[in-house]
Amino acid sequence: MSSEITAENTYAAIDLGSNSFHMAVAGATSTHLQMIDKMRQPVRLGSGLDKDNNITPDTMDRALKCLELFQHRLRGVPSSQIRTVGTNTLRRARNAQEFNQRAESILGAPIDIISGREEARLIYTGIVYGRHDNRKRLVIDIGGGSTELIIGTGINPVIMESVNMGCVSATQKWFSNADANIAKQFDKAIRRSQLELRAITEQYRRSGWEVCIGSSGTIKAVERILVALGHTEHGINSEGLEATRKLLTKKGVSALSDISTISDDRKAVILGGLAVLIATFRSLKIDFMNVSHAALREGVIVDLAGEKLNEHVRHNAITDIQRRFQIDKEQASRVSSTADMIFDSVSKAWGLDDRQHRTALHYACALHEIGLSVAHVQYHKHGDYLLSHADMLGFSRNDQNMLAGLVRNHRRKVALNVANRLSAPHKDRFFHLLVILRLAVLFHRTRQASAAPPITISVTTNSLIITLPHQWLSENPLTHADLISEIGPTKAAGFTLAIHATSLQS
């Protein structure tokens, strides 16, 4: 990789947070990542949900205008090197798909809604990038709607949790009544936040850590407040936190009016954020926290620039699921080998990407029988449910929906509505990969160790002609019947399928 930063080695990450939208642009040189630009807009997505958890029209318009602004800065950055991630609010929003479609049309790149644990992994990745020691760290990130807590050693996160409490949600829930007693509001907010943490408190205390690091807007703002008030020169200490709580209890947010380093939009949610931070300090018995200026978006860029690292994480997630659900790896391997052979025959005509789409196909082959761990009857539907709801590190919700949809449809009728879960880029290739997967599974229905027969495939944009040895078809009448039966489901997926036999050889 060159030491010169050009469009070809520039990467961008957009973090669609519950309080603010962030964008970071970095260049990858031969030795390191160099931050080029950062932008932040206080969109307040988390406070823009109605009673039914739909993003309101005004909030959606505000969010999309922000993305239009970001898009101007992204001109020249290859779309494959832009990643946009959605977090807590988009995980909860019922109309997230509508927002995603409109956002993707602006950015020209998919929106990846990530799980809480995947968010935690990426935060840790961003914070430890460039640190070359093996110290054991506790990392805490307070966002608008959730708080991520990670314990890791060196570059490896070990314990990752996401708790549903953040500066926006806590402020809305506990500090929305301007006439209420602030002291009582603080007591209730801290107590309820500690209850949210109770399930993980013992595990984290028992694990222990050498250094505590905090990140994101709330924690950086609190550090600036403590510095301005003379409680610390850097970082956050427990004494300064408690003193700041007492000050705000007496004077309210107006006590921060002279602190110019805190923006008005941050002051609007600082009471909830401070309550969550105090609860975390008390629950985990933290005395001092260092503050990092890196967070989720930096982790996304590290993942983008270091694809081998990301693929390693995803591979480990697949292997872990195979182990936990006792999937027959030998059968999965047989199916994957045949899928590879079919992929090689059709990829050029269908415009499939050798890395991205082949990898997605491999993952589907590896996990297509996961539902057998629940029941044999309709196990493809059980597999769909398991993969749609699992925490899979390295995978976005789009990735998981793609994987779950392929598993759901690898046998029996094709449920076309499954594709409606997918973003446009994933939907474009879903049925291509599905046809390949279904055929690969079909050839190994007997579960025998023998390889698939010699197969010749002729392909056009929307058709396949499969030619097999006449003798093999005669010796495998059930598979032949399955192939004939597959013509219908293949047509439902948008393709025509024909089965031909070579002439009988003497």
**Which residues touch 399 (CB under 8 Å, ≥6 apart)?**
112, 360, 392, 426
CA R_g for the chain: 26
CB atoms within 10 A of CB 109: 22
Domains 7-113 and 306-450 share a fold: no
When mean pLDDT is compared over 302-311, 341-350, 388-397, the highest value belongs to 341-350
pLDDT at residue number 7: 73
Question: Could you report the per-residue pLDDT of 401-452, keeping only the tens digit for each?
Answer: 999 999 999 999 999 999 888 877 778 799 999 999 999 999 999 888 877 7
Query: 9 falls in which pLDDT band (50, 70, 90)?
Result: confident
Do the Cβ atoms of 95 and 55 come closer than 8 Å? yes
Query: 308 falls in which pLDDT band (50, 70, 90)?
Result: low
pLDDT at residue number 506: 38
Q: Please report, for the chain, the start and end positions of each structural domain, with discontinuous segments joined by +.
A: 7-113, 117-299, 306-450
Comparison of pLDDT for 67 and 78, the residue scoring more: 67
3.40.50.10860, 2.120.10.10, 3.40.50.720, 3.30.420.150: CATH of 117-299 = 3.30.420.150
Q: Is the pLDDT of residue 2 over 60?
A: no
Comparison of pLDDT for 35 and 186, the residue scoring more: 186
Comparison of pLDDT for 451 and 321, the residue scoring more: 321
Query: 98 falls in which pLDDT band (50, 70, 90)?
Result: very high
d(C-alpha 330, C-alpha 327), whole Å: 9
CATH superfamily of this structure's domain 306-450: Hypothetical protein af1432 (1.10.3210.10)
Domain 7-113, classified CATH 3.40.1180.10, yes or no:
no
Residue 131 tokens read as 């640190």
